[in-house]
Structure 1
Amino acid sequence: MQKAAVLVAGGRGTRMGGPMSKQYLPIGGMPILMHTLSVFHKVDPKMELILVIPGDDFELWENLCQQHDFTIPHQVVAGGNSRFQSVKNGITAVSFSEGVVAIHDGVRPFVHENVIKESFEKAAETGSAVAVVALKDSIRKLMDDDRSFYQERQYFRLVQTPQTFDIQKIRKAFEVTELPQFTDDATVYEHQGWQVTLIPGNPENIKITTPEDMDYAEFLIQKMKSR
C-alpha cells in the first residue's frame, strides 16, 4: 500500500501574536513542523511527505532546515487562500493515484505513532479514518434566544487529525466548490455521501494555536525526553 501524508500549515498563525507564524516556532529546540514531519517519517520512512506552507515562506523554511540540519525527505507545496485550497494543493501533489493519504495539521506534533498507523490501516479497509477523542466536560447547546440546553456528551466527539482517506476518493471529494460547512476534510468527504469511519485519537494531540499551547507543548516535549 502506497502511503502519503499531507501536513497542512498554510496559515499565518496570527493568534500567537508574534512576528513569526506559529508553525515555525521552536519547541524543544526545533520548529514545530519538524517535530510533526519526524513522527510521520518514523512511522514509515518510505511514506511520501508533503508540507503545505505559504509560498512566501519557502525561503524561510529552507533556511530553517539548513539551520537545524533537518534532512527528512519532503516536498514543499504552496498553500491556498483557505484550508480547503491548501489541502487540495497538497493532495494534488501526491505522486500516486492508488493508495492512502493522511491529512494532518502541521501544528499537531504530538500525534501518537499508533494513531497514524491505525489511520492508514482503517482507511485502506473502509476508505476513511478520522481521529477523535471523547469529551471530558459537560456541554450545552446555545439557542438564538439566549437559552441553553444540556447535551449528553457521550454522543459527541472532538475531531482531530490525521484524517486519512483513499487517495482517489478524497481527490474526487475536493473537486467540488468550497462550501462554508467544510470545516475539515471529513466534511468534504461526507459531502459525497460517503460515511466517515472514526478511530481513537490521543488527548495530547493538541493543535498549537495560542501562547498557552506553546507552554503545554514545552511540557510535553520535556516529559517525552525524560522517559
Structure 2
Amino acid sequence: MKEYALIVAGGKGTRIKSSTPKQFLELDGKPVLLHTLEAFYRYSENIHIILVLPADDFATWEMLCTRHKFHKPLILQRGGDSRFQSVKNGLDKIDGDGLVAIHDGVRPLIHEDIIGASFRLAAVHKSAVAAVRLKESIRMTDQDTTKAMDRSRFRLIQTPQTFQVDLIKKAYSLKEDDTLTDDASVAERAGHAISLFEGSYENIKITTPEDLVVAEALLRSRKGRG
C-alpha cells in the first residue's frame, strides 16, 4: 500500500514559555520539526509526507529549510484553528487509498522501527496506535476522595497513529467536539476498533522546557550507542 505521513505542527510554545513556536526551537543544532521529518525519511525515502503548519509559519519554515539545507520533497498544507481541523486539512491532500501515519511534529525522537511497525500493523488491523504502559501508580479523584486504580489497565497514548486512509478520512467527516483529543478518538467515535502497539518511552512530546533537556540527553545517548 502507498504510505503517507501527516505531520501536524501547529504549536505556539505557550507552555514552553517561548516566543518561538516549539516545532522551530533548536534541538541539537536543528529545529525540532526537522528531527521529526528526518526520522520518517530514514524509515523510507519513498514515503509521501504532508506537513501541516499555520499559514503564518510558512515563511519561517522556508527560511529554516534554506538555512539547514533541507530539500526533501513534501506537501505543505495550511493548518486549521484546531488540531482536528489541521488533520482534516492534511487528509484532504491525499488522493486515493493507502495508509497514513499521523504524527505530532514535536515528537522528534520517533524511531524508524516504530514507524515501520505502525504501517505493518495498520495494513492488517486498519489502525495502529503507539502506546506505552504506565510506570507509576495512579489514583482517580472525585471531589474530596481518591481511589487507587489498576495501572495495568491503562496506557499512555502517543503518535504515530496510523490508519487506512479511507477509514480515517470518513471518520474526520464527523462534527468536531472537545472530547475528540486525538485521531484514535475520532476513529473510535466513527465506530472503528482501535489497535494499540508498543511505543517507546523515548518518543516524548516537546511541551515544557524540561522536555527539551530530556530530548537533548536522549539524542546524545543515541549518538553514543550509534
TM-score category (smaller protein): over 0.9
User: What residue in structure 2 maps to residue 198 of structure 1?
Assistant: 196
**What is the Cα deviation at residue 92 of structure 1?**
1.1
State whether residues 99 and 166 of structure 1, in contact with CA within 8 Å, keep that contact through their aligned partners in structure 2: yes
TM norm structure 1: 0.97
CA deviation map 1:130-154 (0-9, x unaligned): 00000000000011x3211000000
State whether residues 128 and 164 of structure 1, in contact with CA within 8 Å, keep that contact through their aligned partners in structure 2: yes
| Residue type at the aligned position of 2:200 | N
State whether residues 13 and 19 of structure 2, in contact with CA within 8 Å, keep that contact through their aligned partners in structure 1: no
The answer to which of 7-16 and 198-207 deviates more is 7-16
2:14 paired with 1:14: yes
2:162 paired with 1:164: yes
**Candidates 185, 190, 199, aligned match of 2:183:** 185
TM norm structure 2: 0.97
Computed over aligned residues only, the root mean square deviation of the Cα atoms, in angstroms, reads 0.8
State whether residues 139 and 152 of structure 1, in contact with CA within 8 Å, keep that contact through their aligned partners in structure 2: yes
**Candidates 203, 214, 218, aligned match of 2:216:** 218
**What is the Cα deviation at residue 76 of structure 1?**
1.2
**What is the Cα deviation at residue 33 of structure 1?**
0.5
State whether residues 6 and 91 of structure 2, in contact with CA within 8 Å, keep that contact through their aligned partners in structure 1: yes
Which secondary structure state, in structure 2, belongs to the residue aligned with residue 108 of structure 1? coil
The answer to which of 108-117 and 203-212 deviates more is 108-117
State whether residues 52 and 86 of structure 1, in contact with CA within 8 Å, keep that contact through their aligned partners in structure 2: yes
**What is the Cα deviation at residue 47 of structure 1?**
0.4
**What is the Cα deviation at residue 115 of structure 1?**
1.1
Task: List aligned pairs for 1:59-74, cutoff 5 A.
Answer: 59-74=59-74
| Residue type at the aligned position of 1:103 | I
User: What residue in structure 1 maps to residue 149 of structure 2?
Assistant: 151
Mind listing any 5+ residue stretches in structure 2 that lack a counterpart? none
State whether residues 10 and 78 of structure 1, in contact with CA within 8 Å, keep that contact through their aligned partners in structure 2: no
User: What residue in structure 2 maps to residue 90 of structure 1?
Assistant: 90
CA deviation map 1:96-139 (0-9, x unaligned): 31100000000001112111101001111111000000000000
| Greater than 2 Å deviation, 4+ residue runs | none
Mind listing any 5+ residue stretches in structure 1 that lack a counterpart? none
Separation of aligned partners in 2, 1:193 and 1:110? 31
Separation of aligned partners in 2, 1:221 and 1:11? 22
| Residue type at the aligned position of 1:107 | V
Which secondary structure state, in structure 1, belongs to the residue aligned with residue 15 of structure 2? helix
**What is the Cα deviation at residue 179 of structure 1?**
1.5
Between the two proteins, what is the percent identity of the paired residues?
A: 49
The answer to which of 106-115 and 59-68 deviates more is 106-115
State whether residues 138 and 149 of structure 2, in contact with CA within 8 Å, keep that contact through their aligned partners in structure 1: yes
**What is the Cα deviation at residue 11 of structure 1?**
2.5
**What is the Cα deviation at residue 23 of structure 1?**
0.3
**What is the Cα deviation at residue 178 of structure 1?**
0.1
Which secondary structure state, in structure 2, belongs to the residue aligned with residue 90 of structure 1? helix
User: What residue in structure 1 maps to residue 119 of structure 2?
Assistant: 120
Separation of aligned partners in 2, 1:172 and 1:10? 23
CA deviation map 1:38-96 (0-9, x unaligned): 011111111001111110010000000000111222111111100000111111112x3
State whether residues 38 and 72 of structure 1, in contact with CA within 8 Å, keep that contact through their aligned partners in structure 2: no
Separation of aligned partners in 1, 2:133 and 2:34? 28
State whether residues 174 and 190 of structure 2, in contact with CA within 8 Å, keep that contact through their aligned partners in structure 1: no
